[in-house]
Amino acid sequence: MATDVIVYPFGKIEIGLLEAVRAAVGKRFGIGTTLGQELPVPARAYSRERRQYRSTEFLHRLANLSRDGDHVRLGVVAIDLFAPELNFVFGEASAASRVAVFSTARLDPRFYEEPEDQQILLRRAVTEGRARTRPRLRIGPLHAPFLRDVVLKYAHGDRPERKRVLRRALRP
């Protein structure tokens, strides 16, 4: 049974970037993809202390959209995201709700005070979009729920046992 993916922009996102992500996800997984309507950035997600937005609020917003079929919902934001106890996250996902969100803020070379480069931004956004969608579709080894925490912790730690578990999990 094929699953469709709907890509939702939160706030103003360049249409070319959204189309690139949508097309890449569809091509990579051989599924239907569409662009959803622009959604407002949840105001309650903002943390004044951190000057970032809590990623979980975006997942809740996507999960609360009407369920009219077997769709995966992928949100795209252009603001900096965080999760508790982490400095930042590129994105977050929920296997149970079949929703994911990722931010282009840290994918953009300008975030690191480098010159603007649309090609780099597009390549990074497409890669991140596919990575966030894959586990929601339950394709390949990353659909196992326990791996989400391993991958997340690996991104923020260097303990050897995490590296071994990650390597084992990523084998085809």
Query: Region 158-171: what's the mean pLDDT?
Result: 44
Query: Region 101-106: what's the mean pLDDT?
Result: 95
Q: Beta-carbon neighbour count of residue 164 at 10 Å?
A: 10
What residue type is 84 in one-letter code?
Answer: P
Could you tell me whether strands 4-9 and 52-54 are parallel, antiparallel, or unpaired per DSSP bridges? unpaired
**What percent of the chain is modeled with pLDDT above 90?**
55
Q: Residue 95: which of 54, 45, 152, 46 has the closest Cα? A: 152
Question: In this predicted model, which residue has the larger pLDDT, 156 or 133?
Answer: 133
Domain with CATH 3.40.390.10 in the chain: 4-139
Using 50, 70 and 90 to split pLDDT, how confident is the model at 4?
Answer: confident
Are 40 and 11 contacting, i.e. CB atoms less than 8 angstroms apart? yes
Q: What is the gyration radius of the CA atoms in the chain, in angstroms? A: 16
Class of 4-139 in CATH: alpha beta
- What is the pLDDT, as a whole number, of residue 16? 95
Tell me the whole-structure pTM to 2 decimals.
0.77
